[in-house]
Structure 1
Amino acid sequence: MAEAQKPLLIKRYASRRLYNTETSDYVTLEDISGFIREGREVQIVDLKSGDDLTRQYLLQIIAEHESRGENVLPVDVLTDLVRSYTTQAQSVVPQFLAMSFEMLREGQEKMLSNMQNMPGMSTMPNPMAAMPGFDALTRQQQSFLKTMMGGWGLPSGSSGPEPETSAATEKEELAQIKKQLAELQSKLSKL
């Protein structure tokens, strides 16, 4: 258990090659980016000096993504970051950014959790219900589940379609649900 919490140790050799100590092979920045996306913590150290180079390489990964057009950081934010290095704001910016990203992570987890729970299945109120279009999305989700499960397990009185709905209508609704789910996934990945 404690082993899973240890960061993945990457050693940088004098040749600037990066060595994964877990798998005993060389890795690229893209590999390291993949480890991080999978939820792994990484630590990159210089083999000779023992200096921690993690921050330097993480910034390099971000710079490469931004240069390929995968823009996550608006120019205003980048400008403010540069300014923070030359002002008194430098002392508060790291804590502010850490807290902001923690809130974003918690919000994403709650949103995903709420999207997976159908209304009526939980005793807790759903904060997503105030979102415009949520009722339509909920009806479509219930319709999709009713179609896929043949009506089993849905709460009584659900607002899904009636059993006499035509197959063509169900296919259209299914296509619309898939489209909306793809849009939601896209919006989540942009966050």
Structure 2
Amino acid sequence: MADTSAPLLIKRYASRRLYNTETSDYVTLEDIAGFIRAGREVKIVDLKSGDDLTRQYLLQIIAEHESRGETVLPIAVLNDLVRSYSTQASTVVPDFLSMSFEMLKQGQSKMMENMTAINPIAKMPGFEAMRAQQEAFIKAMTGGLGAQWSAPTDEEGAAPAKGDELDEIKRQLAELQSKLSRM
């Protein structure tokens, strides 16, 4: 059985075919997107040079979904991303995006916790079916985002304690806003 905590190694051959080293078969971009949706990290490397091509292929997966009308990124966000490559903001943007996605994930988790918390409505007939529908709706709306995102870590690489997470995120957001306002 493969170690699912380690990234799934995909090798790109000279023919541009992608090879899954765990299952010893060829995969497509859609297969790789499926692995990621299932919570698996992937690493794509060029067989000959050893270059890490993961970012390039992940961007290609996003571009294909966007071109099929499965839009997640508004035009304004795409424009801002393009602009960030030519400004000093390029050093701030990755941290800001990571924190924003983490806040979205935490909000989704909190909403699910609140739906399942003990309350009088939970005893109503049909509540479980309604809750399952709401979870499916939220998962569909967020593209199944959830536990597969990794939280920002401190300088030592450890995730902040649960009680301090929100304060840390607020502090980092304030710091980013300060940096952006100075630009």
TM-score, with length taken from structure 2: 0.69
What is the deviation of 1:114?
Answer: 2.2
Question: Against the structure 1 CA distance between its residues 188 and 3, is the aligned structure 2 distance closer, same or farther, given a 3 Å change threshold?
Answer: closer
What is the deviation of 1:184?
Answer: 5.9
Q: Give the equivalent residue in structure 2 for 1:21.
A: 21
What is the deviation of 1:143?
Answer: 2.5
Q: Give the equivalent residue in structure 1 for 2:60.
A: 60
Distance 2:139 2:42 in 1: 24
Distance 1:94 1:73 in 2: 15
Is residue 2:124 matched to residue 1:142? yes
Instruction: Report the number of matched residues.
Output: 141
Question: Against the structure 1 CA distance between its residues 91 and 69, is the aligned structure 2 distance closer, same or farther, given a 3 Å change threshold?
Answer: same
Which amino acid in 1 is paired with 2:102?
E
Q: Residue deviations 1:49-87, cap 9 Å, x none?
A: 000000000000000000111110011111110010011
2:119 match: secondary structure? coil
Which amino acid in 2 is paired with 1:65?
H
Q: Give the equivalent residue in structure 1 for 2:85.
A: 85
- Which runs of structure 1 show a deviation greater than 4 angstroms over 4 or more consecutive aligned residues? 181-184
TM-score, with length taken from structure 1: 0.67
Distance 2:75 2:103 in 1: 22
1:56 match: secondary structure? helix
**Bigger relative contact order, structure 1 or 2, given CA contacts below 8 A and separation 6+?**
2
Asked if the contact 2:84–2:90 (Cα under 8 Å) also holds between the matched residues in 1, the reply is: yes
Percentage identity across paired residues of the two chains: 66
Question: Against the structure 1 CA distance between its residues 23 and 188, is the aligned structure 2 distance closer, same or farther, given a 3 Å change threshold?
Answer: closer
Structure number with greater Rg is 1
What is the deviation of 1:116?
Answer: 2.4
Asked if the contact 1:108–1:188 (Cα under 8 Å) also holds between the matched residues in 2, the reply is: no
Distance 2:51 2:103 in 1: 31
In structure 2, list runs of 5 or more residues that go unmatched: 143-183
Is residue 2:137 matched to residue 1:186? yes
Computed over aligned residues only, the root mean square deviation of the Cα atoms, in angstroms, reads: 2.3
Asked if the contact 1:9–1:43 (Cα under 8 Å) also holds between the matched residues in 2, the reply is: yes
